[in-house]
Amino acid sequence: MFKSIQGEGMLIGVPCFFIRLSGCNLRCRYCDTKYAWNDGEEMSIDSIVKEAIESRARWVTITGGEPLLQLPELDKLVIELKRLGFRVAIETNASVEPSDIVKEMVDLIVASPKLPSFNPDYPGMKLGKIPIDRLWIKFVITDPEKDFHELIKYVPRHVPLDRLSVQPNSYTISYTELVEYVLKHNLPYRVLPQLHKIIGIR
């Protein structure tokens, strides 16, 4: 757990207290948090919430790994954080359907479905019904020629394009290359960086 700014997506630049839960149902080749697949320390909800309070952040971001694997305990954590007045975001690979509590109480669900070039074994999105104003979809682009053809298959029809963003897989493509591709092909997608990596913070 740590306090920093949100480095990507809709809340980019916003100070947050991050709670990283361990365990993931995917094994993505380019994952930048592989240490969260298995490692972790068991903590009580009370101790987690205590650190969130001490951080004095208004937003709490629950990330992973895949946080939704820790249901129903995750529900209890969300309920307590909301009771205390925190705004809560959850980052998910979208392959595990959120609980009703998560759908109803979390302020922002950041879904990051994996395109075939990033993980060919991705089982598909299972988000269920989430209000548009509480959903953000983020795609990591590994191979623009392939990925932009695949991307549209993952976007639910009711989700407008201003609720999603794309960012480069830094192992295969630069920000400049991605921006040039989007502009050249007149694509309607917002390109956002990973700000925390650019400025060199956690």
Could you state, in order of their start, the residue ranges of all structural domains in the chain?
A: 2-199
189 is in an annotated binding site: no
Task: Give how far Cα 66 sits from Cα of 20, 34, 90, 199, Å.
Answer: 9, 11, 10, 26
- The verdict on whether omega for the bond into residue 9 sits within 30 degrees of 0, i.e. cis, is no
58 is in an annotated binding site: no
16 is in an annotated binding site: no
pLDDT digits (tens, 9 = 90+) for 87-111: 999 999 999 999 999 999 999 999 9
30 is in an annotated binding site: yes
32 is in an annotated binding site: yes
63 is in an annotated binding site: yes
65 is in an annotated binding site: yes
Q: Which residue has the higher pLDDT, 155 or 44?
A: 44
7 is in an annotated binding site: yes
At residue 69 the predicted structure's pLDDT band, cuts being 50, 70 and 90, is: very high
Mean pLDDT, residues 34-51: 94
Of 104, 40, 186, nearest to 90 (Cα)? 104
pTM of the model: 0.94
33 is in an annotated binding site: yes
Q: What is the CATH number of domain 2-199?
A: 3.20.20.70
